[in-house]
Amino acid sequence: MNLPIRPRRNRQSPAIRDLVRETDLSPGHLIYPLFLQDGNENTPIDAMPGCQRWCVEDLVKEAGEAHALGVPAVVLFPRIPDELKTRGAEECHNDDGLVPRAIRALKAAHPTLCVITDVALDPYNSDGHDGLVSDDGRILNDETVTVLCHQALCHARAGADIVAPSDMMDGRVASLREALDNARFTGVSIMSYTAKYASAYYGPFRGALDSAPKAGDKKTYQMDAANSREALREAMLDEAEGADILMVKPAGPYLDIISKLRAATSLPIAAYQVSGEYLMIKAAAASGWLDEEKVMLESLLGIRRAGADMILTYFARRVAEKVA
Q: How far is the CB of 13 from ligand PBG (least distance, A)?
A: 39
Contacts to ligand PBG from residues 146-175, by CB under 6 A? 166
Give the residue among 127, 116, 167 at the shortest CA–CA distance from 146: 167
Is residue 197 a contact residue for ligand PBG (CB under 6 A)?
Answer: no
From the list 218, 249, 260, 282, the catalytic residue is 249
Q: How far is the CB of 202 from ligand PBG (least distance, A)?
A: 4
Is residue 185 a contact residue for ligand PBG (CB under 6 A)?
Answer: no
CA dihedral 64, 70, 73, 74 (to 10 degrees): -50
Residue with Cβ nearer ligand PBG (112 or 168): 168
> What is the spatial distance between Cα 131 and Cα 213, in angstroms, rounded to a whole number?
10
Contacts to ligand PBG from residues 35-94, by CB under 6 A? none
Is residue 194 a contact residue for ligand PBG (CB under 6 A)?
Answer: no
Is residue 205 a contact residue for ligand PBG (CB under 6 A)?
Answer: yes
Give the residue among 48, 59, 166, 148 at the shortest CA–CA distance from 103: 59
**Catalytic residue flag (residue 196):** yes
Enumerate helices (H) and strands (E) in the chain, giving the number of each.
Answer: 11, 12
Residue with Cβ nearer ligand PBG (118 or 241): 118
Q: How far is the CB of 121 from ligand PBG (least distance, A)?
A: 8
Contacts to ligand PBG from residues 224-263, by CB under 6 A? none
Burial track 152-186 (b if 16+ CB lie within 10 A, e otherwise): bbbbbbbbbbbbbbbbbbeebbbbbbebbeeeebe
Cβ–Cβ under 8 Å, residues 199 and 274: yes
From the list 85, 107, 196, 282, the catalytic residue is 196
> What is the spatial distance between Cα 109 and Cα 320, in angstroms, rounded to a whole number?
20
**Residue 321 labeled ligand binder:** no
Cβ–Cβ under 8 Å, residues 36 and 79: yes
Is residue 130 a contact residue for ligand PBG (CB under 6 A)?
Answer: yes
| Site residues, ligand PBG (CB under 6 A) | 118, 120, 122, 130, 166, 202, 205-206, 218, 274-275
Residue list for the binding site: 234
Enzyme catalytic residues: 196, 249
